Amino acid sequence: MATNVETSGEAIEYEKFRKPIQDIIKFTNTIDEVYREKCFEVLLNHYLSNSTGLRNSSLMLEYTNNASGAQELPINLRTFLQENMISEETVNKLFLREKGEARPIYKITEKKKAIAQIQIALLLAFENALVTPNSAFEFSINTVRQRCIDYNVYDGTDFMFNFKNRAGLFTTLDHEVVKLTPMGKTELANIMNTISKQ
């Protein structure tokens, strides 16, 4: 009997949060689908942090973590982030992640095409590391070419020359799939930190 009363009390306690959470859901459904999950997470976390009744609730904390869609990063990536002092918050400013997929949400503001193309290639290598089972920091030349076209920084005549000019960042440029060297990963970390602050 005591258990039923306790459960009933918890139900009443949590019921008062139903409307605000439904309001958050209703609002996030009005924005672009790409941003909905992140928007929901931010608004819910803001609401929970301002609701003292929920702040210490382990049940709601668990719900929030599940609702955020947070994913455990592979050990290679966690090592890279830790070695380069990159927070997961920085990663979330650059990429939306959900169910083994990642989508870039960063802006390339660099005006020099040669530099912008390298930035795109390095960020694509990180994006691939987020979603591939072996977490390899690699990219396809053709995919980079298309991204550069999409970002309006493609330099058709000097595209490959720009990569050969920065050859130390890559293991080889003779294959379609290019891997990053340790120097390339260091440059990637610098770019991630720079672009996430823009």
Per-domain residue ranges of the chain: 2-67, 75-196
pLDDT of residue 179: 94
CATH topology for 75-196 is: Arc Repressor Mutant, subunit A (1.10.10)
pLDDT of residue 94: 93
pLDDT of residue 100: 77
How do 101-104 and 95-98 pair as beta strands? antiparallel
Q: Give the DSSP per-residue string, 59-122.
A: HHHHHHHHHTT--PPPHHHHHHHHHTT--HHHHHHHEEEETTEEEE--------HHHHHHHHHH
Q: With beta carbons less than 8 A apart as the criterion, state whether 119 and 107 touch.
A: no
Site of tokens 């918890």: 10
- Any residues with CB less than 8 A from the CB of 172 and at least 6 apart, and which? 178, 179
Low-confidence ranges of the chain (pLDDT < 70): 1-14, 32, 34-35, 46, 48-72
